[in-house]
Structure 1
Amino acid sequence: METLSLVPYVRLPRAYAQREILHSTVDTFGRAHWLLGDRPARAPYDALVVTVDDGQVQETHLSAVTARHPMLDALPDGGFVVADARRRGDADHVQVFGALGRHSWSFAVGDALEHLLTDESGDLWVGYFDEGVFGGDPLSEPGLRRWSSSGEALWEMKPASGIEYVADCYALNVDKGTAWACPYTEWPLLEIRENGSVTVRSTPVAGARALAVHGGGAALFGGYEDDVDRLVLCTLTGTAAEPYATTTLVRPDGTAVGRRRVVGRGPRIYVQPEPCTAWEVWDLSMLGREALVGMALA
């Protein structure tokens, strides 16, 4: 089978190698962030965000972090949002920190966060896994929601043509105010525009954990069992994402990706294999026409 290769993107500087990595992400501007600290046995605790952007390293010390299962993303004003993936009771479990690392305010977005991605305006897109959808928390019941950075509910997924509900938001991509998602159980490709309108496209690809979109195409990465590193390239029509090639995404040295974190941003799929000290990237927009034709004919 044909393979496509990730390329190195950015690495956590060696000076921080002994610190425990609590979470890591790549934000909407392409900056990589690591949340470092001792695994929280109790809250609140202090943590350090290390940001690497075009070779420049910046530290932000966060005080009074409360998340036991932290998820991190950056805000456009230099601040950060840290959410606890699990909400305890009716607690406020999302914290906003200013650029100097001071806690500004908290709010709730529901239980069982699978994805937390901010966009260029600072809004938060949250995808939930099944325990949030069916666990009795009304905030997470829609499966996919958009919130302002102050905690205002801006949009939620409602029953639409071709999809009854989001049982588990497997894959989420946020770029320039538009979100794309692939939820369980029927695996549609959802396009949610900034005005809240939704386009539902059918796809036969099950279990994708990340996706990239560019022009009239999409790429779905991941799957079950032997398909864990599968990459399916699709053409987008008004109603479907139609596969034209299936390949395998491998690491820069040609080895299997293995256990990893993934983040989708526009045409890019960022992959962070364990031990989570470096990000690698694959870019759909950089896939040449010759490669596309060759794979389509294979």
Structure 2
Amino acid sequence: MELTFRGELAPPEEGDALACLSLSPHGEPVALWTAPADHGEQTAKDTLPNGVRVPRTRLGRGVPMRFVTYRPEPVVTALETALAVPHAQPLSGGRVLVVGARCAYSPEEGPERNAEIHGADGRLLARGTLGDGIASVRTDTDDGIWVGYFDEGIFGNNGWGSPDGPAPIGSDGLVRFTDDLTRDGRPLPGNGPWGLPAESPRVALESTTLWTSFHNMRERVLVRFDPSEDGETRRGWSLEGTGGGWAVPLGQDRTVAQVGGEDGHDVLTYTTLEDDGRAVPGARFRLTLPGGEPLGRVRGHGHAGVLHMFSGTTWWSADLERRPQ
């Protein structure tokens, strides 16, 4: 299956360096940009007394950044933040969420605040703590903030999970926060019979419905979480025997497209989700660039049946509901 070239995502100012790139709740590319010199500081590592190099949690000063939502006419929000290794997502009213990937806890000072909400004018509106070891951040159409954690955020580091520190905020692997930067009290996808993520979970969103695939230390599973449904909001399926990968939900009933997995990052498998919790793989294809060129190193995101792929600032997509014959 060939991807369609969608374009190059231009920086808001000439020479800007890309800090992070993702999708909005409406399926638009969104990116955070900074000056090259500041970008180097944001991604630099500090050396501990024992010689171990670790990503810094924040800079000594705020640096200018530009958040862009790529529409036919891109929308640019200028802001300033001292957070290092940032993730960024839009919120309603033109607000911008910026989250630093690392967050330290100390008994003397408590937790660092590694989340900020900026207004459409760039003004800082709120700060909060979303925890350490953040691998991904996505917002939904109700301003829910979905945060996925890698192993250090799940099992503890930077003072979290230590004898003198609190349990890691990311111990559930995937946590939903509200737009006041407090934890949502509803049940989460992992708190069910499918177990908790032991690695960074992959996420796809449709409005407020979340699909997440992860390994729970026993098997790879897929969980659908819809907070708007009456009764049981979660359903799960075992992905054993399907080749793994992460899921993009399709409009067709009980069908997802699995991307990547055991046979390569360019494999696409159409999978049927059965009532008994099994996932049955079907037609399988290789994803290529236009002209049949190999996919190469890319980062993928799914939204409403569309697969979006990015290599640096180059954007491709594929309508997965129009499967090849």
Q: TM-score range, shorter-chain basis?
A: 0.7 to 0.9
SS in 1 for 2:92: coil
**Structure 1 residue aligned with 2:281, among 243, 256, 260?**
243
- What is residue 169 of structure 1 aligned with on the other side? 200
Partner of 2:144: 123
Question: Could you list the per-position Cα deviations for residues 239-298 of structure 1 after superposition, in whole angstroms to 9, with x for gaps in the alignment?
Answer: 22211122211122322222222222231221101xx212211222233xxx3xx4xxxx
Question: Cα gap change, 1:68/1:227 in structure 2, threshold over 3 Å: closer, same or farther?
Answer: same
Counterparts of 2:63 and 2:136, CA distance in 1: 23
Taking the aligned partners of 1:93 and 1:32, their CA distance within structure 2 comes to 23
State the partner residue of 2:220.
187
Q: 2: distance between equivalents of 1:83 and 1:117? A: 11
Match for residue 160 of structure 1?
A: 192
Query: Are residues 1:83 and 2:83 paired?
Result: no
Q: Which amino acid aligns with 1:76?
A: S
User: 2:143 aligned with 1:146, yes or no?
Assistant: no
What is the aligned-residue identity percentage? 24
Verify the 8 A CA contact 2:12 2:66 in the aligned structure 1: no
TM-score, with structure 1 as normaliser: 0.86
Would the alpha carbon gap of residues 82 and 40 (structure 1) be closer, same or farther in structure 2, given more than 3 Å must change? farther
Runs of 4 or more consecutive aligned structure 1 residues displaced over 6 Å after TM superposition = none
Deviation at 1:122?
1.1
- Give the TM-score of the pair, scaled to structure 2: 0.80
SS of alignment partner, residue 56 of structure 1:
coil
2:313 alignment counterpart: 277
Q: 1 CA distance for matches of 2:205 and 2:169? A: 20
Q: 1:271 to 1:249 in 2, by over 3 A?
A: same
1:39 aligns with 2:71: no
Q: Partner letter of residue 191 of structure 1?
A: R
Cα displacement (A) at 1:16: 4.2
Question: Radius of gyration: which is bigger?
Answer: 2
Cα distance in 1, alignment partners of residues 132 and 250 from structure 2: 28
Q: How do 1:47-126 and structure 2 match up within 5 A?
A: 47-53=65-71, 55-63=72-80, 65-89=81-105, 90-126=111-147
- Which residue, 205, 211, 214 being the options, matches 2:251? 214
Segments of 5+ residues of structure 1 without an aligned counterpart are none
Paired amino acid for 1:272 = F
Aligned residues: 280
Q: Which moved more, 1:195-204 or 1:67-76?
A: 195-204
Stretches of structure 2 that go unaligned for 5 or more consecutive residues are 42-58, 106-110, 162-166
Task: Confirm or deny: 8 A CA contact 1:209 1:262 kept in the other structure.
Answer: no
1:191 Cα deviation after fit: 0.3
Deviation at 1:192, TM superposition (A): 0.7
